[in-house]
């Protein structure tokens, strides 16, 4: 039992260190841009791989990415009438503001080039996630 507790603490510390390391390694974003609006510092729950991929996509696109929504608490997610299965709750999703077709094309192309396989396209944003529990897809809102 003691060995298991020690192993769990080690894994938790590795994940914390990974997030902190990635926080400093993000070139185009501040980690706080991904906070749920009802919980400061909630972006610490964001998936490190997701953050690296979206940062890479931002560099590829060559245009700013304004994050409308990143990490969400269950309460905030429900206030948006979103499903409890939302990838935002898991910390592996973001909605990027976009309101014109030229930028939308650049954002979508860069996300795909960076390795994302799940995109949702709306008039005013592009949703992106790397939720491995869901199938690869591109959808319209």
Over residues 2-18, the pLDDT tens digits come to 543 444 454 454 444 44
Contact 10, 53 (CB under 8 A): no
Do residues 36 and 48 touch, judged by C-beta distance below 8 A?
no
* Matching residue, tokens 């964001």: 46
- Residue pair 111/119 in contact (Cβ under 8 Å)? The answer is yes
The enclosing H or E element of 87 equals helix 87-90
Range of the domain at 52: 2-140
Q: What's the CATH code of the domain at 109? A: 3.30.1380.10
Q: Which pLDDT score, from 0 to 100, does residue 133 have?
A: 97
Number of domains, the chain: 1
Q: What's the confidence (pLDDT) of residue 15?
A: 47
How many residues in total does the chain contain? 141
CA distance 59 to 1: 46
Strand ordering across the sheet containing 137-140? 67-69, 93-97, 125-129, 118-121, 137-140
The pLDDT value recorded for residue 25 is 81
Q: What is the pLDDT of residues 18-72, one digit of tens each?
A: 445 444 689 999 999 999 999 999 999 999 999 999 999 999 999 999 999 999 9
pLDDT score, position 14: 45
pLDDT tens digits along 105-115:
999 999 999 99
What confidence tens digit (pLDDT) does each residue in 68-103 have? 999 999 999 999 999 999 999 999 999 999 999 999
Coil, helix or strand at residue 11? helix
Sign of the Cα pseudo-torsion (106, 108, 109, 115, in order):
positive
């Amino acid at each position: 039992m003691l060995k298991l507790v020690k192993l769990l603490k080690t894994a938790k510390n590795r994940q914390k260190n990974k997030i902190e390391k990635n926080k400093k390694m993000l070139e185009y974003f501040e980690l706080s841009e991904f906070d749920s609006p009802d919980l400061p510092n909630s972006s610490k729950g964001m998936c490190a791989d997701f953050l690296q991929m979206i940062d890479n996509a931002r560099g590829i696109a060559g245009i700013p990415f304004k994050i409308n929504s990143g990490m969400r608490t269950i309460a905030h997610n429900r206030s948006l009438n979103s499903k409890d299965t939302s990838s935002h709750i898991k910390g592996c999703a973001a909605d990027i503001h976009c309101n014109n077709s030229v930028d939308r094309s650049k954002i979508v192309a860069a996300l795909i080039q960076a390795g994302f396989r799940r995109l949702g396209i709306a008039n005013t944003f592009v949703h992106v996630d790397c939720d491995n529990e869901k199938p690869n897809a591109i959808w319209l809102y």
